[in-house]
Amino acid sequence: MVIYGVYIVSKSGGLIFNHDHNVPKYETEKTFSYPLDIKLIYQNKSIVVVFGQRDNINVGNVLLAVNGIAITNRQLDDGRDVFDVIENKENYPLNLKFGRPKMTTNEKIFLASMFYPLFAIASQLSPEPKSSGIEVLEADKFKLHCFQTLTGVKFMVVAERTQAGMEILLKKIYELYADYALKNPFYSLEMPIRCELFDTHLQALLDQVEKSGITNV
Amino acid sequence: MSRQGSKFDMKKVNSELVTLTYGTLVAQIVKDYENVDDVNRQLDRIGYNMGVRLIEDFLAKSGSGRCLDLRDTADKIQTAFHMYLGISVGIGGWSPAGDEFAITIDSNPLTDLVELPDELRTTLKYCGVLCGAIRGALEMVQLEVQCWISQDQLKGDANTELRVKFIRKLEDAVPAGED
């Protein structure tokens, strides 16, 4: 029973809330000797594995640290260029840490606003009249459940495929939103939700659902 | 009023608390503005802003679907009065076209302990906040309405009566997958 995250999209399509609940961390650290048998390239401001998958280091992973020193863009935090370090035989053995690239806030906003037209297209593509938009989007590793209120706010939960009762959870989150976000006099509509009470109650709800299932909520 | 257990079981407060708080608010606004029209406008605006937020609470807790005609809407407004003010209101006075109806309130908790001073008796719309709230809430579910007080206990009528008139459906604002 795992819930990966919760997203709320306003009626105009902007991401107003995002909560990463239980995102699995995939990080692998390994010591390499010269020459490096993994192909790395610099892409989108990070150093990505393009070929040579092994030992839990997968294609698409990014290089996070060299000898425990973190990386920003293609530079080590001590100022050296990562590729210079890797290509220099004298630096070996090298300890490299790889992991899944983390989504930045900007990327999340971008993806959330991309879901908005998909939802609308789904309802127009429908062969049957009066169809809703996407309610469940299923992939081999997760399921995205979406609930749109009558006022047009979308609530999305990304969870494990086997997780049941997500419709009820979405309605519960809607209630929390109505209670703790909208009744907060300092929250203005359509703006990102920064209400601590909402966060804590949501966290408690998700924990409870994961622990004891949806029926006890 | 916060969520507790089943959907209609909410924390209750004494209606006098509401009466008095609302009374303070109106008295303060009357003090702040010279002109009664401005006071009425402010009350309506406050109501509107409450309505656009309260509708989400109503939908989340009552689980009601979209209204397809105004009679539906009237029924739901009746439920809402029960939820938020704890009173039963009458629905009636339908226009022949079915686009206008009246909400009759026998005992209005907002006016329980209130009598209007002479200089405000004819002009102040004391319960204007209710009209604003109805308008704001319905606007969020894409219905544009006009709402006004047609009878007022504070002005010597037997009941308080609000009239709601349907103007149009806000087609552009209907979210995709809902039309």
Confidence of residue B7 (pLDDT cuts 50, 70, 90): very low
Residues of B in contact with A11 (CB under 8 A): 175
The whole-number pLDDT of residue A74 equals: 81
Chain B from 34 to 63: CB within 8 A of any A CB: 52-57, 59-61, 63
Please identify which residue in the block is written with the tokens 């003090």.
B31
Average pLDDT over residues A21-25: 80
The residue of chain B with its CA nearest to that of A118 is: B176
pLDDT digits (tens, 9 = 90+) for A61-79: 888 888 888 888 888 888 8
> Between B54, B61, B66, which is nearest A175 by CB?
B61
Residues of B in contact with A179 (CB under 8 A): 2-3, 57
CB spacing of A119 vs B53 below 8 angstroms: no
- Residue B128 clears pLDDT 90, i.e. is over it: yes
Spatial CB neighbours of A127, under 8 Å, sequence gap ≥ 6: none
Average pLDDT over residues B136-165: 93
Model ipTM value: 0.86
Cα A106 to Cα A118: distance, rounded to the nearest angstrom: 19
- Residue A99 clears pLDDT 50, i.e. is over it: yes
Residues of A in contact with B3 (CB under 8 A): 175-176, 179
Cα A137 to Cα B164: distance, rounded to the nearest angstrom: 41
**In degrees rounded to 5, what are phi and psi of residue B3?**
-70, 125
Q: Is the peptide bond before B175 cis (omega within 30 degrees of 0)?
A: no
Cα A18 to Cα A10: distance, rounded to the nearest angstrom: 12
The whole-number pLDDT of residue A169 equals: 94
B14 vs B138, higher pLDDT: B138
Return the beta strands (E) in chain A as ranges. Answer: 3-9, 15-20, 27-32, 39-43, 46-51, 62-66, 69-72, 75-76, 94-99, 136-138, 143-148, 154-159
pLDDT digits (tens, 9 = 90+) for B81-94: 999 998 999 999 99
Q: Which helix H or strand E contains B59, and what residues bound it? A: helix B36-62
pLDDT digits (tens, 9 = 90+) for A142-189: 999 999 999 999 999 999 998 888 999 999 999 999 999 988 888 988
Average pLDDT over residues B140-162: 92
The whole-number pLDDT of residue A184 equals: 87
Per the CB < 8 A criterion, the answer to whether B83 and B61 are in contact is: yes
- Here the tokens at position A148 are 């749109």
CB spacing of A119 vs B176 below 8 angstroms: yes
The whole-number pLDDT of residue B10 equals: 64
A83 vs B137, higher pLDDT: B137
Cα B22 to Cα B17: distance, rounded to the nearest angstrom: 8
The whole-number pLDDT of residue B148 equals: 95
The whole-number pLDDT of residue B146 equals: 95
Cα B69 to Cα B178: distance, rounded to the nearest angstrom: 15
Chain B from 141 to 170: CB within 8 A of any A CB: 141
- Residue B179 clears pLDDT 80, i.e. is over it: no
Cα A155 to Cα A161: distance, rounded to the nearest angstrom: 18
- Residue B178 clears pLDDT 80, i.e. is over it: no
Residues of A in contact with B177 (CB under 8 A): 119-120, 122-123, 131-133, 148
The three-point CA angle A28-A30-A33 to 5° equals: 150
Tell me the CA distances in angstroms from A96 to A66, A87, A93, one per residue in order: 5, 13, 10
Residues of B in contact with A176 (CB under 8 A): 3
Residues of B in contact with A124 (CB under 8 A): 176
CB spacing of B177 vs A179 below 8 angstroms: no
Helix B70-85 vs helix B128-140: crossing angle, to nearest 10? 120
pTM of the shown model: 0.86
Average pLDDT over residues A83-100: 86
The whole-number pLDDT of residue B9 equals: 52
- Out of A121-130, A149-158, B17-26, pick the least confident: A121-130
CB spacing of A132 vs B178 below 8 angstroms: yes
B11 vs B51, higher pLDDT: B51
The whole-number pLDDT of residue B1 equals: 41
Q: If you average pLDDT over every residue of chain A, what do you get?
A: 88
